[in-house]
Structure 1
Amino acid sequence: MLSHLIQQSRWLLLAAAAASVISGVCGVLLLAQITTALTADASRYGSLAWTFAGLALAAMLTRTLSAVLFERLGQHALAELRHYISARVLAADFRRLELAGGPRVQSALSEHSNNVAQFFVSVPAILTNAVVVAGCLVYMALLSWKIFLAAVVAIGLGSLGYHLAHLLAIRHLKTASQEQDKLFGHFRALTEGAKELRLNRAKRRTFGSEVLGSSIEAVRSSRALGMSIFVASASWGSFLIYAFIGLVLFVLVGDVPDRTTIMTGFALVFLYMVTPLEVLLLNIPRANLAKVAADRIEEITREIPGAAMAEAVGVPPPLRLNSLLLKGVKHRYYHEQSDDFFELGPLDLEFRPGTVTFLVGGNGSGKTTLAKLLVGLYAPEAGEVWLNGERIEDFNRDRYRQLFSAIFSDFHLFERLLEASRPDLDEAGNRLLARLHLQHKVKVSGGAFSTQALSQGQRKRLALVVACLEDRPFLIFDEWAADQDPVFKDVFYRELLPELRAQGKAVLVISHDDRYFGLGDRLLRLENGRLVEGAAASPQAERPVLQSTVA
């Protein structure tokens, strides 16, 4: 992941890296100028001052340029990662996406992506200070090769300790990263379960302390321990530097010619090198954290492989429904109530335009799973689906899904009406809102609802408006009327469904409202994953006369 991001912006990265290196070189040259000025004759002060000023200006400009370029690289990397993850989620097989879980995806889009982006912000500090440390070592070698070798030994010991600490710290950072995914799920429960938590004090206390609190603490402790190990190893490196300064000043430099010049040079080099070395050691963990985050993103995206979802060039012709057949379709999934795997099917069904089908069954009987199989969100594990004489397989399943509009019990309302652009979208939407008695609460303006701060039943009516505006041949309503008052139940069953039938739509209604079953063309019942079909009770003549169309 990091290699891919670096490859994408390699020229900008090279320019930013060059600016960092030049900034570090200027820093080392400034140190040399300071050392020279301390022992130079007064006659040389003028030229030394101009050189010093030029180097200081160059260091400032290149450091600024490097920081700006790497900041842009960081934001570019963050945007690229979010585009990449979002594209993978949009193209993912729905069932695999369900198994991966929303919290992990949210974690990848926010926390992990930010950590990867921070890598590019840390690079200039790593490069600049690495050049300064390397330059200081070269300067030491020029002053005394014996002391330079001793310095290399000291830095080697520090690096070995840092490497061992690095391996231990990375393990804790990975643990924190995995726990972070769970924490995002708890954050979602904090708002989505607000009603339940307020109605039960014991549940609220347990969730706050044992679930949310323990997860927050697990992330904090693992990450704090990992970063603390890095900090401790950096302090160990700094201690070795100061110990080496004392060793040089009081032991290694004996009574030699130019002792004052050599000791002054070494003292300045060491003091100048301490801060860059500390910054270098503190920024390396951020780069390591970015690698952990990038690995985590790759792991998550591997779990949601893309399905065959080729985008059509131009506006594809609308699908027509002549016949839809399910032949021996089966689906197997884990059933929590029985703590066992539950098999739905085999299903043999036919749907035709202009028919209303009611689907009933107990909780956990597989009604919603059947609906997801029907609309193509789940691929059947056995059996076949045929549309208008064409077998539906992976390569054409996405096109097949464009046949349906569905309102599931866990539906989502987008902020905008994302249907194909049409000039009368606002007008048609407001007409439907008025019919559903929502015109005083919400309006469609500029292709968007003016508000969604409504009750669940009212939000379902907004979802109904969206489904009608999509104008698809097949509509599925999963317990749509469960949150509606009797007035709107009558509107739905006695007015809307007959109108959809008159328009030639095929409609599947998952419902428990048995008083309305006679208004359908047939009744399907699921029992233990098997389908039982019965005739509707009401003859065609008893259906209401249509006065208007839906759209």
Structure 2
Amino acid sequence: MLAYLLRQARSSLIAATLASVVAGVCSVLLVTQINAALTAPDQAARAALAWRFAAIAVAAALAHTISAVLFERLSIQAHARLRRFIADKTIAASFRQLEEIGGPRVHSALSEHSASVASFFVNIPVILVNAIIVLGGLAYLAWLSWPVFLVAVGVIGLGSLGYHLAHLKAIRHLDVAAREQDHLFGHFRSLVDGAKELRLHAAKRARFGDEVLGASIDVVRRERERGMSVFLAASGWGSFLIYAFIGLVLFSLVGDAPDSARVMTGFALIFIYLMAPLEGLLLSLPRANLARVSARRIEEITRALTAAEEAPAAGAAPRFERLALRGVAHRYFHEGMDDLFTLGPVDLSFAPGELVFLVGGNGSGKTTLAKLLVGLYAPEHGEILLDGAPVDDRDRYRQSFSAIFSDFHLFDRLLDAASADLDQRGNRLLERLHLHHKVRVRDGAFTTRALSQGQRKRLALVVAYLEDRPFLVFDEWAADQDPLFKDVFYRELLPALKAQGKTVLVISHDDRYFDLADRLIRMESGQVTAVEQRAAEAAVGREAAIPQ
């Protein structure tokens, strides 16, 4: 994932990296000039060093500013690219894959994990500059005294070993925190979606807050605290080693060696100067590791979201004279049975201008059959035929359908090309459904979605009408409507759609309206048990056709 982002911004990254290198080199050169000034023999020599020091200081400031700006822009661009990458993967994935992965994991990848990965680019200049300062300082120490330099390398090696061991331990805690965070986003969603239920049950609310949400928050906090504490303890160990080395240089290693004052001054100055870059480096590396952990989580999620959808179909929704399911079967895990549930094999056909009711008990497979019919699920066995030809482009096939499932989502706009005609047609439908005093269509968007569930379903019905697809599926649409609108739906809207030549499949428990159907399909335990032909009252409600 990090390699992908780095490839996307190669030129900007090279420029920002060069600026960081220049900033780091200039910082090391400043230290050498300071040491030279401290040991200069006279005022004239110090004066000559002043101009060089000023030029290097200006170059260091400019390079640091350019590096910081470029990497900040890279971070923002990386965040946007990463979100777009995850979104494109999600759009291209099959509906079944999204159901299996779950919304909270995708939300976590789009928000927390992508932000953590993007922050890696902000840490790059800190890591680069500090690493160059440390390496340049060590090179200067080698120039001053090889024996003392070798001891310095040994001290740094000992510190690095301790840091590596700490890293192995800390990264395990950070991985646990990253995985728990996916569950935490699901609890955040329940906090809002389950607001009514939580407020109606005080004990449930308390348990959810303490044992579910609170416990998950504590796991993320605890594991991140442990991981970062281990990193910081390793940083403290490194600081102690630096102080110990400075003491060795000042009081033991140099002794009466020639030019000892310059060597001791240089070593003490370099190590004191290196403390801040070393600490910055040790603090930045854990954050970089957090980015690596988040990148791995994103990779796991996006690998599961394999591209299963074709490119968006162009042109109008395909029309048909006959749609048939031949031996269609599908299996899925049924929670109530705690086992795999098999739907089918199913043999059914549909024609334009036909009103069909699909009925059966809860868990009989009605909604699953509807999802197979509209192309959201792919049949494991059998095939779907459109005018006698097998469906080979499922995305284009799906363009024949408009569906309102029981767990429908209502977008804030129609997602069609905005036009005055679209607004007018939408507002006429809103008036017919008694919603015009609550919401209007303006520039292709709804003025509000703050409606009751029944009103939101009526708004979804407006969207379905405006899409003008040849096949409409309604999954318990009338369940949230009052008796008045139930009657309007069954006795006016459905016959009006049939009169327009639409094929309509209605999943329903309202047996008082079954006489309106041309056919009644009964299901039980995943099987079609009966198909009853009915003589629907063709004239009922046709004069009340919905305005288009």
Is 1:7 the equivalent of 2:7? yes
Residue in 1 aligned with 2:350? 351
Residues 165 and 230, structure 1, Cα contact 8 Å, conserved in 2: yes
Is 1:367 the equivalent of 2:366? yes
Deviations 1:434-474 (A, max 9, x none): 00001111000010000011100000000000000000000
Residue in 2 aligned with 1:325? 324
Mapping of residues 506-525 of structure 1, within 5 Å? 506-525=503-522
* Structure 1 residue 420 displacement after superposition: 4.6
Check 1:338–1:46 CA distance in 2 against 1; reply closer, same or farther (3 A cut): same
Rounded to whole Å, the distance in 1 between the matches of 2:141 and 2:507 is: 81
Identify which range, 221-230 or 100-109, moves more after superposition.
Answer: 221-230
Residue in 2 aligned with 1:133? 134
Rounded to whole Å, the distance in 2 between the matches of 1:61 and 1:294 is: 32
Residues 426 and 445, structure 1, Cα contact 8 Å, conserved in 2: yes
Residue in 1 aligned with 2:226? 225
Rounded to whole Å, the distance in 1 between the matches of 2:445 and 2:538 is: 40
Mapping of residues 426-441 of structure 1, within 5 Å? 426-441=423-438
Secondary structure, aligned partner of 2:326: strand
* Structure 1 residue 50 displacement after superposition: 1.3
Rounded to whole Å, the distance in 2 between the matches of 1:322 and 1:139 is: 84
Residue in 2 aligned with 1:93? 94
Deviations 1:175-207 (A, max 9, x none): 111111110000000000001111111111111
Rounded to whole Å, the distance in 1 between the matches of 2:546 and 2:213 is: 50
Check 1:545–1:241 CA distance in 2 against 1; reply closer, same or farther (3 A cut): closer
Letter in 1 for 2:397: Y
Deviations 1:247-274 (A, max 9, x none): 1111111112322222111111110011
Is 1:72 the equivalent of 2:69? no
Rounded to whole Å, the distance in 2 between the matches of 1:8 and 1:480 is: 46
Residue in 2 aligned with 1:336? 335
* Structure 1 residue 533 displacement after superposition: 2.9
Letter in 1 for 2:543: L
Rounded to whole Å, the distance in 2 between the matches of 1:189 and 1:114 is: 23
RMSD: 1.3
Secondary structure, aligned partner of 1:526: strand
Deviations 1:477-503 (A, max 9, x none): 000000111111111111100110010
Residue in 1 aligned with 2:193? 192
Check 1:141–1:280 CA distance in 2 against 1; reply closer, same or farther (3 A cut): same
Residues 321 and 387, structure 1, Cα contact 8 Å, conserved in 2: yes
Rounded to whole Å, the distance in 2 between the matches of 1:214 and 1:503 is: 55
Residue in 1 aligned with 2:399? 402
Letter in 2 for 1:118: S
Residue in 2 aligned with 1:52? 53
Rounded to whole Å, the distance in 2 between the matches of 1:376 and 1:444 is: 29
Check 1:47–1:544 CA distance in 2 against 1; reply closer, same or farther (3 A cut): same
Residue in 1 aligned with 2:239? 238
Rounded to whole Å, the distance in 1 between the matches of 2:300 and 2:174 is: 16
Rounded to whole Å, the distance in 2 between the matches of 1:257 and 1:223 is: 51
Deviations 1:346-378 (A, max 9, x none): 111000000110111111111111110000000
Identify which range, 533-542 or 488-497, moves more after superposition.
Answer: 533-542
Rounded to whole Å, the distance in 2 between the matches of 1:76 and 1:138 is: 36
Letter in 1 for 2:15: A
Residues 517 and 536, structure 1, Cα contact 8 Å, conserved in 2: no
Residues 419 and 443, structure 2, Cα contact 8 Å, conserved in 1: no
* Structure 1 residue 223 displacement after superposition: 1.2
* Structure 1 residue 335 displacement after superposition: 1.1
Secondary structure, aligned partner of 2:543: coil
Letter in 1 for 2:112: E
Is 1:35 the equivalent of 2:35? yes
Rounded to whole Å, the distance in 2 between the matches of 1:323 and 1:104 is: 40
Residue in 2 aligned with 1:25? 25
Rounded to whole Å, the distance in 1 between the matches of 2:337 and 2:545 is: 47
* Structure 1 residue 38 displacement after superposition: 1.1
Deviations 1:191-226 (A, max 9, x none): 000011111111111111111111111111111111
Check 1:133–1:539 CA distance in 2 against 1; reply closer, same or farther (3 A cut): closer
Residues 499 and 550, structure 1, Cα contact 8 Å, conserved in 2: no
Secondary structure, aligned partner of 1:257: coil
Residues 329 and 384, structure 1, Cα contact 8 Å, conserved in 2: yes
Rounded to whole Å, the distance in 1 between the matches of 2:212 and 2:261 is: 64
Rounded to whole Å, the distance in 1 between the matches of 2:317 and 2:476 is: 27
Letter in 1 for 2:370: A
Deviations 1:408-439 (A, max 9, x none): 00000111111355541100000000000011
Rounded to whole Å, the distance in 2 between the matches of 1:125 and 1:53 is: 23
Residues 114 and 294, structure 2, Cα contact 8 Å, conserved in 1: yes
Residues 496 and 550, structure 1, Cα contact 8 Å, conserved in 2: no
Rounded to whole Å, the distance in 2 between the matches of 1:33 and 1:201 is: 70
Residue in 1 aligned with 2:439? 442
Secondary structure, aligned partner of 1:476: strand
Residue in 2 aligned with 1:151? 152
Rounded to whole Å, the distance in 2 between the matches of 1:460 and 1:122 is: 48
Rounded to whole Å, the distance in 2 between the matches of 1:506 and 1:34 is: 85
Residues 344 and 529, structure 1, Cα contact 8 Å, conserved in 2: yes
Mapping of residues 485-496 of structure 1, within 5 Å? 485-496=482-493
Residue in 2 aligned with 1:164? 165
Is 1:311 the equivalent of 2:308? no
Is 1:473 the equivalent of 2:470? yes
Residue in 1 aligned with 2:411? 414
Letter in 1 for 2:381: A
From 519, 527, 530, the counterpart of 1:533:
530
Secondary structure, aligned partner of 1:546: helix
Secondary structure, aligned partner of 1:540: coil
Letter in 1 for 2:212: V
Secondary structure, aligned partner of 2:330: strand
Is 1:261 the equivalent of 2:262? yes
From 504, 519, 525, the counterpart of 2:501:
504
* Structure 1 residue 51 displacement after superposition: 1.2
Secondary structure, aligned partner of 2:307: coil
Rounded to whole Å, the distance in 1 between the matches of 2:536 and 2:127 is: 80
TM-score, normalized by length of structure 1?
Answer: 0.97
Letter in 2 for 1:517: F
Residues 519 and 536, structure 1, Cα contact 8 Å, conserved in 2: no
Rounded to whole Å, the distance in 2 between the matches of 1:65 and 1:441 is: 53
Secondary structure, aligned partner of 2:347: strand
Rounded to whole Å, the distance in 1 between the matches of 2:202 and 2:544 is: 52
Letter in 2 for 1:306: A
TM-score, normalized by length of structure 2?
Answer: 0.98
Rounded to whole Å, the distance in 2 between the matches of 1:541 and 1:149 is: 97
Rounded to whole Å, the distance in 1 between the matches of 2:24 and 2:122 is: 16
Residues 417 and 444, structure 2, Cα contact 8 Å, conserved in 1: no
Deviations 1:135-179 (A, max 9, x none): 111111111110000000000000011111111111111111111
Secondary structure, aligned partner of 1:377: coil
Letter in 2 for 1:264: T
* Structure 1 residue 546 displacement after superposition: 2.1
Secondary structure, aligned partner of 1:424: helix
Check 1:236–1:198 CA distance in 2 against 1; reply closer, same or farther (3 A cut): same
Residue in 2 aligned with 1:105? 106
Rounded to whole Å, the distance in 1 between the matches of 2:480 and 2:34 is: 79
